Amino acid sequence: MTVSIYQPVWDGLKKYGQMEVISDPRHHKRIKKAIIKRKDLDLVYKLQVAEENKKAVLEFWIDDKDPRKLHIKLTKATGWRNL
């Protein structure tokens, strides 16, 4: 299995909590989809977060001054129940 080109972004989000990706705005939708997929496939991280009774939440927004900048934030939301 090959490593996704988006894996370093996901790893950075887990380490730092926030990342900034600079790309053509036409690619932002693809990047969002790929990062969400990385989060969903990372079962170890999902279990670690579930042990804290939390859920990983991704936030995306585009920089007002530079539309090429896609900001991504990873947070842990409380109050989630994993069934």
Average pLDDT, the chain: 91
Q: Mean pLDDT across the stretch 29-53?
A: 94
- Strands ordered across the beta sheet of 69-78: 18-22, 69-78, 54-62
Q: Mean pLDDT across the stretch 6-26?
A: 96
What pLDDT, on the 0 to 100 scale, is given for residue 51? 92
> Rounded distance, CA 20 to CA 72, Å?
6
> Rounded distance, CA 22 to CA 69, Å?
5
Exposed / middle / buried, residue 26 (Cβ in 10 Å: 0-12, 13-18, 19+): exposed
What pLDDT, on the 0 to 100 scale, is given for residue 60? 98
> Percent of the chain scored above 90 by pLDDT?
83
Contact present, 76 and 39 (Cβ < 8 Å): no
Identify any residues that bridge with 72 across adjacent strands, giving them in sequence order: 19, 60
Q: Mean pLDDT across the stretch 67-78?
A: 95
